[in-house]
Amino acid sequence: MLNDHQPDLAPITRHLRAMFGSRLLIAAVNHLHVFDHLSDGPLSITQLSERIQLQERPAMVLFPALCAMDLLSYTDGLLAITDLGRYLVQAQTPNLTGYVGLEKDDAGVIEMVNRLKNDGPLDASQGISFVKEGEGPSPMDDLELARSLTLGLSGRARRLSPIVAANLSRREGHLLDVAGGTGFYTYEWLLKNPSSTATILDRPAVLSVAAELLDELVKSDRAGAATLRDRVTFLPGDMLTDALPQTDLLLAASLFHDWPTPTCQMLANRFAASLRPGGELWVHDAFLNDTLDGPLAVTDYSAQLFWGTKGRAYSRAEYRRWFVEAGLEPTTENIPTQMDYGLIWARKPAL
């Protein structure tokens, strides 16, 4: 269980993700020349994207990051250079374009430039690390890769899952944890809801790790842990195509951010259809500001997601539009957890 006196681990993940934000900055200054394009006046996101030949996803990774760095501002639909950002215009005297450019040939920067220009790696097998590509098999069907990633994420899940479980609705019913990974979010919710059951949906190789972690928990001295094995169902499947079981709560933790916008809407529709009347869809993720200008920790994370998945970080407003389109009723609650994550949720209308 999480001790209230334990620190938020966000500084650790922020330092890790800052590497990707730095690559964005160098790419913007010395390869895409974003600040030079804006030196004569503000432009819309569409206009600037066309000038530097960026598609929607890379544009929505790059521009919010530069705003979060206080180098650009985004007001009334227009991007403009800030007083600080003016020092990244080549015509400005003095400027720091040359200083930033000392790292412009770094291999990570060059690859970031290529991914920005091509909306991902040219060779998907070299960059789309953990999400399914087209009709082919999922990378998470590889036993070694699935085990490595799932265990790699387990520390984060162990830390966050008690906080998430404490904020989810307490009710008698069924929880569907889609792409549930380690299963920790499910296990913690069940411990707080002793009359409820749950299903964890994921790839078979991932579920084998989740089952091992469940065995470890069942053998512990946690109150109620001995009941968990009989209350959890492991369901191998593909959330994109397979039928989803009916449920009262559906948890999508660190899920939508792996996918582009059209897939996110499709997933919201599928999740809404699986909810019983009065059911709830909960999303745990890191969210951009609705103004798309930060926060910096999340724009850095968005750059990391852009690097290794088909998605990016999204704003709460974007999620809520998907919810409405799917026939759900979004709440206005914004519940912080830790490590720059939070919870939002929507309800399916009762009959």
pLDDT at 128 over 50: no
- CA 218, CA 235: separation in Å to the nearest integer? 19
- Predicted confidence at residue 278, as pLDDT, reads 97
Structure tokens belonging to residue 288 = 């951009």
What is the rounded average pLDDT of the residues 46-66? 98
Report domain 139-291+308-347's class.
alpha beta
Q: How far is CA 15 from CA 61, 101, 285, in A?
A: 18, 22, 18
| Chain length of the chain | 351
* Helix (DSSP H) and strand (DSSP E) numbers for the chain: 12, 13
Residue 195 pLDDT class (50, 70, 90 cuts)? very high
Q: Where are the domains of the chain?
A: 10-118, 139-291+308-347
Q: Which fold has domain 10-118?
A: Arc Repressor Mutant, subunit A (1.10.10)
Per-residue pLDDT of 264-293, as tens digits, reads 999 999 999 999 999 999 999 999 999 999
